Amino acid sequence: MRNARPERDRERDPAPDHAVTVDGRLEIASVTKSFGTHHVLRGLTLSVAPGTTTAIVGPSGSGKSTLLRLIAGFERPDAGTIGLGGRALAGDGSWVPAHQRNVGYVAQDGALFPHLSVGQNIAFGLDASTLPDGRQGVKARVAELLAMVSLDASLAERRPHQISGGQQQRVALARALAREPRLMLLDESFSALDAGLRVATRRTVAQVLNDARITTVLVTHDQAEALSFADQVAVIRDGILAQVDSPLTVYTRPADRATAEFLGDAVLLDAWVDGTVATCSLGRVRVAQPPCQGRCQLMLRPEQIRLDDTSPVRGVVLDMEYFGPETTVRLQLAVPASAANEQSDDQRKGAETISVRHWNASTTTPGADIGIRVDGEAIAFPPDVECRTAAARGATRQDPRAPFPARGDGSRPA
C-alpha cells in the first residue's frame, strides 16, 4: 500500500512541488514524560523521514497515546526535544502551541462534532478568508476534501450519526487534512471499525496520505495493521523503543523475544547453537546472525514449519483447529537424536509441543506421526533474555540447565 515507492527513493527524490516532503521530518530526541511517579516515556528517540509512515506499536498503557499527544502539543515533555521540519516544537526552552504546529490528529472514535453536519465538521478546519469566493469556496473545498477520502459530496449535509463508522473516520481525516498539515497523527484511528471496513478504510487513508506526501505517525496495537501500513515500525516497551526497523525486519528479525511475540505467533525452542547452525527438536536449523553460541533460545514463525512426509524430523499430531484458509496443527516433537541418549533422565527436554499452520486440513489426523521441515532461517536469542522477561512478568526463574549436553570445549554460551 504505502510501499508503492520505497522510502529511500522518496527521500532521495522529493517532489519539488511538494514543500511538505522536504519539510516534514519529525525528530524526537530523548523525550521523557511522567505522570506523578509513573514514568511513561523514559528517553524515547525516534526519527520519521519526510513523507513516510511510522507505526508505533506496543501493549496497552505503554505510552503510545502519550507520545502522540506530546507531538501534537497537547502535553509538554519533561525533558528531551521534539522537532518538525527543522523547527523546534518542544523542549530546550522551545514551545509551539498545538494550533500553530500544523499537525493533524485523528483519534480512535474520530471525535466529530455531533451537532454539526459532515460539511460543517470539515469546514471547521478551513480559514474562509484564505479561500476564493467566501462561502462558495468553502463548499468547493469541502467537496474536494470529501472526494479525497473517497466520499460522495452528498454526505456533506448529513450528521455524523447518519453515516457509518468507516465514513466517520474518513470525515475525521478530511477535517484533519483541511488544515494541510505537514504531519498526520493517527491514534488507533481504525481500531473501532470491524475487520473488513478497517482494511478498506486504512487502505483509503494510506493512499490519501501517501499521495499528499504527508509524514504520518500511526499508533496501533494491531500488529497486522502496523506491518501493512507503515514504512517503519517502532516497538515501544517500558518507555523506550525496543526496536525501530522496516516491517519485514521487525517481523523476521525481532530484536528480542518480547518483540517477536508481540508482532505475531512465535515457535520457541531450546537449542544448541554452533556457528550459524542450531540443533533442536526440529533437527539442524540455520540461524541468522546468532547473537549467542551454545545454549540459546530459537524462534521460528509458524508458517516457516511445513508438513513434509519425506523429512526425517518427526512429530505426533496432538490436535487440529480448522480456520478455512489454514489449519493450526499442534504437534508433539520427538526428542532430538543428539539428546536422546544422553538425557535419559529428562527424555522430554527439548521435545516441545508446537503449533504450525497448514493449508490442507484433510492430510493429518490426531495421533498421526508426520514429517516436518523448516523453511528459511531461525532467530536465536540468548537464554538469559527469556529469564529476564519471565522475571519481569513475575514468573519463577526458568530451569537454567542446558537442554542439550555441551559439546566441544563445553564453554558457556556467550
Would you give the DSSP letter of residue 302?
A: G
Applying CB under 6 A, the span of 21-29, 61-69, 131-139, 400-408 interacting with ligand ADP comes to 61-69
Please count the residues of this chain forming the interface with ligand ADP, following the rule CB under 6 A: 11
Give 68 or 177: the residue with its C-beta nearer to Mg ion. Answer: 68
Give the binding range for ligand ADP (CB under 6 A) out of 64-72, 116-124, 308-316, 334-342.
64-72
C-alpha cell at 74: 497537547
Q: Is 65 in the site for ligand ADP (CB under 6 A)?
A: yes
Return the number of the residue (60 or 344) whose C-beta is nearest ligand ADP: 60
Q: Which stretch binds ligand ADP (CB under 6 A): 54-62, 119-127, 200-208, 352-360?
A: 54-62
Instruction: Using alpha carbons, select from 287, 68, 270, 277 the residue that is nearest to residue 183.
Output: 68
Cα–Cα distance for residue pair 7/225, rounded to 1 Å: 18
Nearer to Mg ion, 56 or 118 (CB): 56
Residue 66 contact among Mg ion, ligand ADP, none, beta carbon within 5 to 8 Å by kind? ligand ADP
210 sits near Mg ion (criterion: CB under 5 A): no
Residues 42-71 that bind Mg ion (CB under 5 A): 64-65
Evaluated on CA atoms 311, 315, 316, 320, the torsion sign reads negative
**Locus of grid cell 522477561:** 389
The candidate with the shortest Cα–Cα distance to 173, out of 206, 127, 215, is: 206
Q: Does 62 bind ligand ADP (CB under 6 A)?
A: yes
Cβ of residue 29: shortest distance to ligand ADP, in angstroms?
A: 19
Q: What is the C-alpha separation between 149 and 152, in angstroms, rounded?
A: 9
Structural contact between residues 181 and 216, judged by C-beta atoms closer than 8 angstroms: no
User: Is there binding between residue 232 and Mg ion (CB under 5 A)?
Assistant: no
Beta carbon nearer to Mg ion, 64 or 357 = 64
Do you know the residue count of the chain?
A: 414
Residue 130, Cβ density class (10 Å: 0-12 exposed, 13-18 middle, ≥19 buried) = exposed
Closest CA to 293 of 374, 375, 378, 383: 383
Chosen from Mg ion, ligand ADP, none, partner binding at 124 (C-beta under 5 to 8 Å by type): none
What are the residues binding Mg ion (CB under 5 A)?
A: 64-65
What are the residues binding ligand ADP (CB under 6 A)?
A: 35, 38, 40, 58, 60-66
